[in-house]
Amino acid sequence: MSANFLNGITLLLAYQLVGEVSARLLNLPIPGPVIGMLLLFFSLLVRDSLAQVVEPAASALLSHLSLLFVPAGVGVMVHFGRIGEQWLPITAALLVGTLITLALTALVMLGVQRLQRRSAHHDA
């Protein structure tokens, strides 16, 4: 393990810790890792050099991202009976959630296209 990886993973874990502590102390309904990720995002916007520290650890974690699906698969198998009993609300939630996601994605795409057209007209 290189020092670059250790520095990066330490920084990522520190942001997660700050997020967890903030969520618990402030009794926020947002998960701690999400708060930590937002803090990291804003830190990266402010300090470009921070990306060089985080990049080795982030790349290593992303290369093993598929392993994070194992706990979800185990959860499905453990609660298979409950899923069978509640298949209708689960299916409805999945369908409605998918439709909302598609609609919002389309709206965001249209907004981005409008912004690109405006900037192209101003540049010309």
Interval 47-92: pLDDT, tens:
988 999 999 999 998 898 888 888 888 888 898 898 889 999 999 9
Please give the Cα distance from 103 to 85 (Å, whole number): 30
Kindly state the tokens that stand for 81: 């009976």
Task: Residue 57: count other Cβ atoms within 10 Å of its Cβ.
Answer: 20
Please give the Cα distance from 36 to 13 (Å, whole number): 9
Please give the Cα distance from 108 to 87 (Å, whole number): 31
Local structure of 101: helix, strand or coil: helix
Please write the tens of the pLDDT for every residue from 15-40.
Answer: 999 999 999 999 999 999 999 999 99
